[in-house]
Amino acid sequence: MTTLFLDYLKHRPAWSVTLVWYLRAIAVLLIFSGLIHWARIVGFSPWRGQWFWEMPVEWQAATVFFGVLDLVAAIGLWLTVSWGTVMWLTRALTQVVMHTLFADIFGRRPYEIAFYLTTIAIYLILLYLSEREQRR
């Protein structure tokens, strides 16, 4: 088992390629998230038993905000342009703030916060490894 892992590390793709595929995987998740938000906005599916027009104004604003931002960030991440990463980080950190500082309005979601912080940490590690590899 250990030799298989060591062989993989020796013959793995470049860290920059791994980073691109990681960003594209996040982009796919954001596309689905954006489509879910838009399904709520146009009245295709309710959220927590409430239709969009029945939601409090804060939830409506957040739904529209993330409906637009998710799709824009997904396009940017798929194209691996810098503004896509900025949009994704803005989106992720906004979610963390919403569910920590404004938990009384949007609810506390520790698993979602952990997910966003983990994805950001993985991104930073892959970015560091990619930069280090390019300097060699």
In contact, 85 and 76? CB cutoff 8 Å: yes
56 vs 67: CA distance, rounded Å: 16
* pLDDT score at 49: 84
In contact, 57 and 51? CB cutoff 8 Å: no
Q: What is the mean pLDDT of residues 99-126?
A: 93
- Looking at the chain, the whole-number percentage of residues with pLDDT higher than 70 is 96
Residue of higher predicted confidence among 1 and 80: 80
Give the type of residue at 47.
Answer: W
Domain boundaries, the chain: 14-135
112 vs 118: CA distance, rounded Å: 10
| Six token digits for residue 91 | 């989106």
Q: Compute CA 62 distance to the chain's CA centroid, rounded to the nearest angstrom.
A: 15
In contact, 71 and 89? CB cutoff 8 Å: no
Query: b/e for 77-94, b at 16 or more Cβ within 10 A?
Result: bbeeeeebbebbeebbee
In contact, 130 and 12? CB cutoff 8 Å: no
Predicted confidence (pLDDT) per residue in 7-47, tens digit: 766 777 888 999 999 999 999 999 999 999 999 999 998 88
Q: How many CA atoms lie within 13 A of 38 on its CB side?
A: 11
Q: Flag whether pLDDT at 2 surpasses 70.
A: no
DSSP states along 99-129: TTTTHHHH---HHHHHHHHHHHHHHHHHHHH
Residue from 77, 92, 86 nearest 20 by CA: 77
